[in-house]
Chains A and B, each alone.
Chain A
C-alpha cells in the first residue's frame, strides 16, 4: 500500500491547508495594518458566538451544501459541472413560478412544490449540456459555463419583461404570498423570553439540505445507479464492458446534479428574499466547486466544508461591518482558503504522503 491512512487524507490534509490559508490571511491583514487576532476574534464572535450569527452561517452553508452536492454527484461520473450557477438561477425561476401561480394552503406543501419546481428547472438546465456531452462529446465544462450566461440573460429577460410588477424598479418578481413563507430559525426556535436567530435568514431549507446529503450518500454508495455512476467515472471502457450505458448514466448524473443545484434557490428565493431577484445566487454555484473539492465529493465532507464557507461568508460580513478592512481583502482571504483547500491540495498531500510512507518503511 503506497497510500496514507484514511484519517490523514480526510482530516489532516484539509486542516493543514486551512492553517496555511489562515497564516497567509494573517499576513495580509498585518500588511494593511490591522490585527489578525482581533479580526479572527471578530469573525468567530460574529459568526459562531451569537445565534443570529449562526443563522447567517447556516443560511450560507445551506446554499453551499446544495451546490457542493451538485458538483460532487457529477464528479463521481467524472463530469465537471461548473454550471451550478446557471442551474440554480433557473431553479429560482421554478421556485418563483410555483410560489406565485399556485395557491398553496400551507408552507409545507409550498416547500414540497417549490422543491420539485426548483429541481425540475435546474435539471432541465443541465439536460442540454448533458445531452451534448453524452451524444456529441461537447466538453461539459465549456457547455455548462456557457449555460450560466444564457441563464443570466434568460432570467434577466423574464424578470424585466414578464414577471416584474408594473412600475416596480427592481428587476424582481412580486413578493410571494404569505402562505409560502418558510419558517425561519427565528420562527422555530425563538420563545418570547429568549429571542433566537433574530432576523437571520436561515430557514427550514437547511434541513432539506441535510436530507439531501443523506440521500446523495445513499444514491452514490447504496444504489445500483450510484454504482453505475461511480463505475463510469472510474473507467468508461470498463463500465461499457459491464453493460452500463455511458449516455444514460452521464445524462442521469447531470440531471441529478442540476436538480441539486436548482434546490439551493428554495433557500435564497423562497426562504430569504421571498421573491425572485436577479442575483440571488451570487457565486454559490462556483463556491460549490471548492466545497466539493474540499469535501472529497463525500456528502459528509461537503456538509462540513459548506459550514466552513458559511462561516467565512458570515465572518467576512462582520469584518466589513466593524473594521476598516476593505471588502476586496475579505474576498482575498476567502480566496486563499479556496486556493489552499481546493487548488493547492496536492501541495500539502504529496509531502504528507511521503512522510507517512517513510514512517511506514522505517517501521517495517
Chain B
C-alpha cells in the first residue's frame, strides 16, 4: 500500500512537472474523422501549421463513439495536455461537465458556446459567409435556379441554408432555391454517393449552381457538378482546387485559424466567447487562381460591398438558430 502511495505520489509529481514545462496541446476530432476534406481537416491543417512553424508537437484523437468524448477530454487533461481543443458542437454538454473538474486546464471548443471560466468558445457566423456565396450563386446562375445540399439535417446546416437563401434572394428575389439534406443520421456527413445523386436530381430540376454544406458528402456533389458541367460551391476549407474552373467559390470557415490561434496562445489562451464572422475574416469566400475566370469584377465588387456592410453591422443576415425559423424559403 505504501509502495503504491509512493508510486502514485511520484507519478503525480512527474505529471505536474511535465505540465509546468511546455504543455503539449491536444486536438480532438469529431466523429467525421480527421480527413473529411472539410471541417475536421481544416482543424488538422491549423494544428499542423502550428506544429510546422513552431516545431511543437500535439496529441490528437479521432473519436469512434459518443462515450469517448468525455474519456478523451479527461485522459488528455489528466495527462497534462493544455490547451485541449475540440471540433464540433457535440462536445458542448460533455465539456460543460468536464471543464470544472480541471480548473487549471484550458479548453477551446469550436462551433459551440460553453460557459466556464477555463473554456474558449469559438463560434462562426456561417450565415454571413453563406449569404455572400448565395449572392455569387445568384449572379452566376443563368437558369435562376440554384441548389443547396446539406449534410445531416440539423439546425447548424439549416443556418447555412438560410443564410444562403437570403443571399440568393437579395440579388434575385424571384430565383428558386432547391434545398436537400443528405440524411438524418451522422452517416450523412460522409456519403458522397448520395451527394452525387442529389446533385443529379437538382440539375434535372434546373439548378446550375449548387452549394454543398455537407462535410465529406460534398466531395460527391462537387465531383458530379463538375462532371455535368455546372458550377458548385465548396464549404469550410477552400475547395476551389478540387475541380479548377468548375467550382465558383468556397464558403471558407477558418477553423484552421481558430485552432492555430488556440495552440499559438498555448496555456495563456484567453477564455470566453470568440466570434469569428465576416468582420474579422472568420468566414468569407475563397478567391484564387482556380476560380478567377468564373467570378467577374462586378460580382466580386457586389459581394465585397455586402461583406463590408455585414462587417459594419449595416446589413443583418438572419441567423436561423436564433429563432429556429428562416424568413425566406
> A: which residues have CB within 8 A of B?
56, 59-60, 152-153, 156-157, 160, 164, 166-172, 175, 198-199, 201, 268, 272-273, 275, 277-280, 282, 313, 316-317, 320-321, 326-327, 330-331
Contacts and interface: CB of A to CB of B under 8 A. Distances in A.
A171 B71 CA distance: 21
A168 B159 CA distance: 12
Contacts of B63: 320, 327
B186 A278 contact: yes
B322 interface: yes
A264 B118 CA distance: 35
Contacts of B31: 279
A272 B72 CA distance: 15
B324 interface: yes
Interface string B87-108: 0011011000010010000000
Interface of B: 31, 33, 59, 61-68, 70-72, 74-76, 89-90, 92-93, 98, 101, 111-112, 153-156, 184-186, 321-324
B324 A169 contact: no
B89 A279 contact: no
Nearest to A324: B60
B64 A153 contact: no
Nearest to B92: A170
A279 B185 contact: yes
Contact of B155 (A60, A169, A331): A169
Contacts of B72: 317, 321
B112 A169 contact: yes
A59 B67 contact: yes
Nearest to B184: A156
Given A160-B154, A199-B71, 17 more contacts: A60-B67, A156-B184, A156-B185, A160-B153, A160-B155, A167-B321, A171-B155, A201-B67, A277-B66, A279-B31, A279-B185, A313-B64, A317-B71, A317-B72, A321-B72, A327-B64, A330-B64
18 contacts: A152-B184, A153-B184, A156-B153, A156-B184, A160-B154, A167-B324, A169-B156, A170-B89, A273-B66, A275-B93, A277-B66, A277-B90, A313-B64, A317-B64, A321-B61, A327-B33, A330-B64, A331-B64
Contacts of B67: 56, 59-60, 201, 268, 272
Nearest to A60: B67
Contacts of A282: 65-66
Contact of A171 (B64, B65, B154, B321): B154
A72 B41 CA distance: 41
Contacts, number: 89
B267 to A, nearest CB: 21
Given A152-B185, A279-B185, A199 B70 contact: yes
Nearest to A63: B67
B50 to A, nearest CB: 18
Contacts of A60: 67
B74 A199 contact: yes
A327 B184 contact: no
Contact of B64 (A166, A278, A320): A320
A280 B64 contact: no
B62 A327 contact: yes
Given A152-B184, A278-B185, A317 B68 contact: yes
Contacts of B76: 321
B321 A169 contact: yes
Contacts of A201: 67, 70
A169 B64 contact: no
Contacts of A160: 153-155
Nearest to B154: A171
B324 A280 contact: no
A316 B75 CA distance: 14
Nearest to A273: B66
A89 to B, nearest CB: 10
A268 to B, nearest CB: 8
A331 B33 CA distance: 13
Nearest to A148: B185
Contacts of A331: 64
A272 B71 CA distance: 12
A272 B156 CA distance: 25
Q: Which of B59, B71, B74, B323 has the most CB of A within 10 A?
A: B71
For the complex of A and B, 4 pairs with smallest distance between CB atoms: A156-B184, A169-B89, A327-B62, A199-B74
